[in-house]
Amino acid sequence: MGDRERNKKRLLELLQAAGTGNSHCADCGAADPDWASYKLGVFICLNCCGVHRNFPDISKVKSVRLDFWDDSIVEFMTRNGNLHVKAKFEARVPAFYYIPQANDCLVLKEQWIRAKYERREFMADGETISLPGNREGFLWKRGRNNSQFLRRRFVLLAREGLLKYYTKEEVEVQKSITEVGQELTELGERLVDIVRSLQSQRPLSESGPDNELSILGKLVTSDAAAGKIKDILHDLEEIQEKLRENFSWKEAPEAPTQREHLEAQSSSSCPMSDQSPALRRASHFAQWAINPTFNLKSLSCSLEVSRDFHTVTVSPRPQPYRGSCERFSTSQVLCSQALSSGKHYWEVDTRNCSHWAVGVASWEMSRDQVLGRTTDSCCVEWKGTNQLSAWHMVKETVLGSDRPGVVGIWLNLEEGKLAFYSVDNQEKLLYECTISASSPLHPAFWLYGLHPGNYLIIKQVKV
């Protein structure tokens, strides 16, 4: 047997050798490949061979059956082989990467072969690192019904191992509007404050001794400026009002509303009439109902807030929020709404939280203190020890062992009163106290930080 025949026989045996992976194409998995890249040391099918042939820098091919193989190349193929080379070039193919199959089109195979051998994207020491987590971006995808290419948002969900694409982008837009809405509302409030303070400072600064302008000029300037400031303030207050309407009050959470909840209770458990205490309470307070939103600047790193700013959850791991003196070091959060006058009512669903406190606090409340343990905060608290307490002026009052599911908070700043109600089945006054707030009060919350997944919801009270 000559070298040619002997080496061909060795190669054919090598193709069938157990544990080598040579019986299927190294690139597309097609059975019984009879070509090989003698530069890379892999056996490949005729189709993939066509791709390899186009890239002589990365690969050189021969037919197992038709070409001449000398001893050194046969030995090289024996030392390497499909599985051996795969371990090197496919060390870290991302879970979501589509590896073409035998019957896939040539374009896919070419992309795969070039990514693998030319760009060496999947080698263990390669430079391209595929980070875990979700990815998203835009691709142009050919429409199903016509051949037009359309821009589509693709989202890769790492946990589900799915690649999804969206034909509409409204969902994302809607979310960002909500976020922008809260930022705008806060900005509006700050602008109003600034303009108001300018309005009050202006006469002082203009009567300063250094002003060289003529008295007449000064008066004209001053009047015109004051008028302008007044106009701006008026415009700002209007914008602020619109923003509040759109982004705070009207944004309905998906949970059933309080009224629906009460109606469900009344039809299933006890047939209450319209005059039942709960409905009287709802109708009594509904006109002062507000729908406060959690403030991200005060949010503790152990908590997370839903996109609609109405649910706060204990996070399984500390969140990398920006450090700030406004952020609680304990697992607490305030709402953005500063309540300084009038009457306000809101409800908190505490049923999915084993340890909680709800109440009010001034924005200046010390960020390393706990609700109720400062003179500028007040709350009712359920600590999971079957005890409900109220904390007011750093003093605890034990209220009993009944756990309220939904707590209604009634803040009447006209009369200087704060009251807490249990409102899930029947209305029950839990605690009432007088308050004299020297600065605006914000709805305030505490959740026990060691129970990940526990959450509180600010419910929308239906009018």
Residue 442: Cβ-neighbour burial (10 angstroms; 0-12, 13-18, 19+): buried
Rounded to 5 degrees, φ, ψ at 16 are -100, -5
CB of 69 to Zn ion, least distance (A): 20
- Cα separation, 52 vs 36, whole angstroms: 10
CB of 50 to Zn ion, least distance (A): 9
Nearer to Zn ion, 80 or 422 (CB): 80
Nearer to Zn ion, 36 or 312 (CB): 36
Tokens of 136: 């998203």
Tokens of 5: 């025949």
Nearer to Zn ion, 28 or 77 (CB): 28
Nearer to Zn ion, 108 or 435 (CB): 108
CB of 29 to Zn ion, least distance (A): 7
- Sign of CA pseudo-dihedral 428, 431, 437, 443: negative
- Cα separation, 256 vs 457, whole angstroms: 11
Nearer to Zn ion, 108 or 157 (CB): 108
CB of 48 to Zn ion, least distance (A): 3
Nearer to Zn ion, 46 or 270 (CB): 46
Nearer to Zn ion, 28 or 409 (CB): 28
CB of 35 to Zn ion, least distance (A): 9
Binding mask 304-343 for Zn ion (x = CB under 5 A): ----------------------------------------
Nearer to Zn ion, 103 or 148 (CB): 103
CB of 103 to Zn ion, least distance (A): 10
Residues 6+ apart with CB under 8 A from 331: 300, 302, 303, 314, 446, 447, 448, 449
CB of 28 to Zn ion, least distance (A): 3
CB of 75 to Zn ion, least distance (A): 24
Nearer to Zn ion, 106 or 139 (CB): 106
State CA 140 to chain mean position distance.
26
Tokens 């200087």 belong to: 416
**What is the strand order of the sheet 311-314 is part of?**
303-305, 311-314, 455-459, 343-349, 406-412, 417-422, 428-434
CB of 82 to Zn ion, least distance (A): 11
Q: Helices 46-53 and 106-113: crossing angle, nearest 10°? A: 60
Tell me how far apart the 2 most distant CA atoms of the chain are, in Å. 119
Give the E-state strand segments of 342-384 in sequence order: 343-349, 356-362, 377-382
CB of 100 to Zn ion, least distance (A): 8
Residues 6+ apart with CB under 8 A from 39: 58, 59, 60
Beta bridge partners of 358: 380, 445
Phi-psi region of 133 (alpha: psi -120 to 50; beta: other; left: phi over 0): left
Residues binding Zn ion: what is the number (CB under 5 A)?
Answer: 6
Element holding 342 (H helix, E strand):
none
- Sign of CA pseudo-dihedral 72, 75, 81, 86: negative
Binding mask 257-296 for Zn ion (x = CB under 5 A): ----------------------------------------
Asked if residues 413 and 343 have their Cβ atoms less than 8 Å apart, the reply is yes
CB of 27 to Zn ion, least distance (A): 5
- Sign of CA pseudo-dihedral 47, 49, 50, 52: positive
Nearer to Zn ion, 27 or 381 (CB): 27
Nearer to Zn ion, 27 or 304 (CB): 27
Binding mask 48-77 for Zn ion (x = CB under 5 A): x-----------------------------
Site for Zn ion in 9-48 (CB under 5 A): 25, 27-28, 30, 45, 48
Nearer to Zn ion, 48 or 365 (CB): 48
DSSP-based three-state secondary structure for 147: coil
CB of 44 to Zn ion, least distance (A): 5
Element holding 44 (H helix, E strand):
strand 42-44
Q: Binding residues for Zn ion, per CB under 5 A?
A: 25, 27-28, 30, 45, 48
